[in-house]
A and B are shown apart, each in its own frame.
Chain A
Amino acid sequence: MAYNKPIPRKGQHNQPFWDGAKEGKLMLPRCTLCGKVHWYPRLICPSCHSTDLEWIEGSGEGRLHTFAVQHRAFGGWAEEVPYVTAYIDLNEGDRMMTVLRGVDPNKPEDIKIGAKVKVEFDQADDDTHIPFWRVVEE
């Protein structure tokens, strides 16, 4: 079945991320001056304001920072309620948003903040492999 949910918009500032995603790599922007990884991709380092940025391959691992269970949705997502949305603390620093897998949306009290998560990619179209995160065993 064709992917029927919103597909992220792309631009020069984030193209290396989507190129990496096609190969199953989680590419992250890093500042060459201060060395900090930031998410989302930007035109300038938000820590030291250098514009000398590079891309590194991330570990694809992180921890669950917080979550919510969505019961009201539209478009393609409406078919999937309830589902868990979440913010992920990347091992490399900073935070990503996702729809979280490997958890039961009907038992939110069982979802553990701090749980270990790993990234996986779903192909949405020829140019877009969207990262999703899954709770995994320690």
Chain B
Amino acid sequence: MAAINLSMGAAIVGAAESNEIGYPEERGEKVTSLQHHIQAIKNVSEYTGIPISDIEGIFSTGWSVELAEHLGIRPHYIDTTSVGGCSFEIHVHHALAAIASGIIDVAVVSHGEAGWSYRGAGGGGGGRGEMSPGAEMTMAYGTFGAPSQYAHAMVRHMHQYGSTVEDFAHISVVTREWAQKNPRALMFTDASQAEVKLGERTPNPFGGPITVQDVLDARIIAWPLTLFHCCLVTDHGGAVIVARPEIARSLRTNPVWIAGAGESMAHQNMLEMDDFTATSAARSSAIAYEMAGLGPQDMDMALIYDSFTVTAAITAEMLGLAPRGQGCRLWKDGDAAPGGRLPINTNGGGLSFNHSGMYGMQLLVEAYRQLSGTAEDGINGIEGKQTDSHTCVVNGTGGTLSTTGTLVLVSDD
């Protein structure tokens, strides 16, 4: 099949978050998912100088019509793809296609999820009156939520490749180290570091660096996963604007070019996961790398969905950043750490920065911050960045290691 090469057919021209991410509820303020969306869209509009009225395409996980009505706009490209945490990488892929084919010039991808404040409020998949026939055949067996399922993949990885719980724990430790460089990270600091400039933030007594032993000793959730192998549950909103190259070059913001994009899927139910040590990121990244004309060896950094340590390790292998079975080594050997050869999850990840249930937007915001040189100044060594990266592979994972979206992003020199 001969396809148009979409590479560099659009750029992410700005990224922004909602006003209060993390646990706004603890400051006596219950922020709804809709508020997170609207704040983030308003913020990214102001940041880029693109008026909300210029938005022609709207991309979100099911919210698009509600958002457009609320904003008083009438987009002519509407996408509500909702396939878990990777939806936002997939939205960017779709926006790239819509822009490169000339249907629209400007798209917004939006995320709002009060994952903590409205926890237990239900929502996930209810009301259809039908259950996946696969889920009917697993519902009897006492698994509750993502960690209870992902643990099966980690055990299989350990069996197949001889990886150990300690190997995976290094991912938590290194990711927490990155969080110490990001004041927006929930696990940025502990009470003993209260003198660190925090703005109005309350120091997090549970924050600060951790050790491998801390990870091993943390409360067990589903063996071999302890709490510190698992992502946070927080509130978050974020939005990015994707625009045609001519517009991208005319703005005051630095563009981050979409060199490659791909998406793929494996299963809905984990019961159908052929290989518990592999995800469809092998396919989505192959598509993205080919479009970009770049490979894993060309990547300066990576942003990898880390719902759990095992998600990050397996995904690193699927993206070609490490050999099969050796994903943990990137963290264990320091490559992924601050100052390392291949910085990974520079924001502190879903493990220590923020994870609202779907983490794909947090990946996009961080990719934009790093490649555009607009990370907060004064904390990172390199002004405006945690790294000096110009290329980044971003991979979202949705469901239970099910769907994936990969982006290869590059900045101007």
B201-242 contact mask (Cβ, 8 Å, vs A): 1 or 0? 000000000000000000011111100000000000000000
Partner of B271, one of A77, A82, A97: A97
**How many inter-chain residue pairs (CB < 8 Å) link A and B?**
105
Partner of A41, one of B137, B152, B221: B137
**Which A3-17 residues have a C-beta within 8 angstroms of B?**
5-11, 13-14
Task: Tell me whether A113 is interfacial, beta carbon within 8 Å.
Answer: yes
Q: A14 contacts B137, CB within 8 Å?
A: yes
Q: A108 contacts B222, CB within 8 Å?
A: no
Q: How many residues of A contact B (CB 8 A)?
A: 40
Q: B140 contacts A7, CB within 8 Å?
A: yes
Range of interface residues on B (Cβ < 8 Å): 20 to 34
A94 to B224, CA, bound (A): 25
Contact partners of B137 in chain A: CB under 8 A: 8, 14, 39-41, 96-97
A103 to B60, CA, bound (A): 45
B342-367 contact mask (Cβ, 8 Å, vs A): 1 or 0? 00000000000000000000000000
Task: Tell me whether A67 is interfacial, beta carbon within 8 Å.
Answer: yes
A130 to B141, CA, bound (A): 10
Q: B223 contacts A85, CB within 8 Å?
A: no
Task: Tell me whether B51 is interfacial, beta carbon within 8 Å.
Answer: no
Task: Tell me whether A87 is interfacial, beta carbon within 8 Å.
Answer: yes
Nearest CB of chain A from residue B288's CB, rounded to whole Å: 27
Nearest CB of chain A from residue B52's CB, rounded to whole Å: 42
**Which B155-197 residues have a C-beta within 8 angstroms of A?**
155-156, 159
A1-44 contact mask (Cβ, 8 Å, vs B): 1 or 0? 00001111111011000000000000000000000000111110
A69-98 contact mask (Cβ, 8 Å, vs B): 1 or 0? 111111001001011011100000001111
Task: Contacts A8-B136, A8-B137, A39-B137 given; indicate if A82 touches B156 (C-beta within 8 A).
Answer: no
Task: Tell me whether B77 is interfacial, beta carbon within 8 Å.
Answer: no
Task: Tell me whether A68 is interfacial, beta carbon within 8 Å.
Answer: yes
Task: Tell me whether A99 is interfacial, beta carbon within 8 Å.
Answer: yes
Nearest CB of chain B from residue A76's CB, rounded to whole Å: 8
A130 to B131, CA, bound (A): 18
Task: Tell me whether B134 is interfacial, beta carbon within 8 Å.
Answer: yes
A68 to B154, CA, bound (A): 9
Nearest CB of chain A from residue B75's CB, rounded to whole Å: 36
Partner of A85, one of B143, B154, B225, B276: B143
Contact partners of A116 in chain B: CB under 8 A: none
Contact partners of A42 in chain B: CB under 8 A: 133
A39-69 contact mask (Cβ, 8 Å, vs B): 1 or 0? 1111100000000000000000000011111
Task: Contacts A97-B271, A108-B223 given; indicate if A5 touches B142 (C-beta within 8 A).
Answer: yes
Task: Contacts A97-B137, A113-B159 given; indicate if A69 touches B152 (C-beta within 8 A).
Answer: no
Contact partners of A98 in chain B: CB under 8 A: 141
Q: A99 contacts B141, CB within 8 Å?
A: yes
Contact partners of A13 in chain B: CB under 8 A: 133
Task: Tell me whether B139 is interfacial, beta carbon within 8 Å.
Answer: yes
Q: B152 contacts A9, CB within 8 Å?
A: no
Nearest CB of chain A from residue B56's CB, rounded to whole Å: 39
* Chain A, Cβ-Cβ closest to B142: A77
Q: B133 contacts A41, CB within 8 Å?
A: yes
Task: Contacts A8-B139, A14-B136 given; indicate if A71 touches B220 (C-beta within 8 A).
Answer: yes
A40 to B225, CA, bound (A): 27
Contact partners of B269 in chain A: CB under 8 A: 40
**Which B80-137 residues have a C-beta within 8 angstroms of A?**
131, 133-134, 136-137
A124 to B152, CA, bound (A): 26
Among A39, A67, A71, the most chain B Cβ lie within 10 Å of the Cβ of A71
Contact partners of A69 in chain B: CB under 8 A: 151, 220, 222-223
Q: Hey, which bits of chain A sit against chain B, CB under 8 A? A: 5-11, 13-14, 39-43, 65-74, 77, 80, 82-83, 85-87, 95-99, 108, 113, 124, 130
Q: A9-B131, A10-B136, A72-B148 are in contact. List 12 more A-B contacts (CB 8 A).
A: A8-B140, A40-B134, A41-B137, A66-B153, A68-B224, A69-B223, A70-B144, A71-B221, A77-B142, A97-B138, A124-B140, A130-B140
Q: Give 5 CB contacts A-B under 8 Å.
A: A41-B137, A70-B148, A71-B221, A85-B148, A113-B155
